[in-house]
């Protein structure tokens, strides 16, 4: 069972940049925050990435979240699958940085709803 990701989650790029999560729906709350659904993460900005220097581009967006975070096969909100955290604290997925970085979910934002 995996935790459903909500707007209180803490997700970072491996260089220390923080994904700025904001609610995209206000109908359902889970663990005090609004759950995120596919493809919400792809439009949330990453701020504070420290990957800078000649030939380097900082991470500003998530381009792939699997296998760290993926769609739930059981929980749907407004017809869209909710994101679940499959691997907490483990790098995975991909950002748009050059070279591409990975993301890490430090906290799913809640541990009440598992899917």
Query: Per residue in 23-43, pLDDT tens?
Result: 999 999 999 999 999 999 999
Question: What is the reported pLDDT for 46?
Answer: 98
Please tell me the predicted confidence (pLDDT) of residue 28: 95
**Angle at CA of residue 112, ends 48 and 44, nearest 5°:** 25
With 90 as the cut, is the pLDDT of residue 1 above it?
no
Question: Measured between alpha carbons, how far is 13 from 57 in angstroms, rounded to an integer?
Answer: 13
Residues in contact with 79: Cβ distance below 8 Å, sequence separation at least 6, in sequence order: none
pLDDT for 9 equals: 97
Give me the pLDDT at residue 115, please.
74
Give me the half-sphere count of Cα atoms (radius 13 Å) on the Cβ side of residue 89: 0
How many other β-carbons are positioned within 10 Å of the β-carbon of residue 97?
23
Q: Do 108 and 29 contact (CB within 8 A), yes or no?
A: no
pLDDT digits (tens, 9 = 90+) for 52-89: 999 999 999 999 999 999 999 999 999 999 999 999 99
The total number of residues written for the chain in this structure: 115
pLDDT reported for residue 4: 96
Mean pLDDT, rounded, of the chain: 96
Edge-to-edge, what's the strand order for the sheet holding 103-107? 46-47, 18-19, 10-13, 103-107
Domains of the chain, residue spans: 3-107
Dihedral sign computed on CA atoms, order 9, 101, 92, 14? negative
Q: Is the predicted pLDDT of residue 10 greater than 80, yes or no?
A: yes
């Amino acid at each position: 069972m995996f935790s459903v990701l909500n707007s209180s989650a803490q997700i970072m790029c491996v260089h220390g940049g923080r994904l700025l999560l904001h609610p995209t729906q206000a109908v359902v709350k889970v663990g005090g925050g609004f759950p995120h659904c596919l493809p919400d993460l792809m439009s949330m900005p990453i701020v504070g990435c420290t990957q800078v220097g000649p030939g380097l581009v900082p991470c500003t967006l998530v381009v792939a979240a699997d296998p760290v975070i993926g769609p739930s096969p059981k929980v749907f909100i407004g017809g869209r699958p909710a994101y679940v955290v499959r691997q907490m604290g483990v790098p995975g997925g991909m950002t748009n940085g050059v070279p591409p970085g990975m993301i890490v979910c430090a906290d799913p934002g809640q541990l009440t709803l598992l899917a």
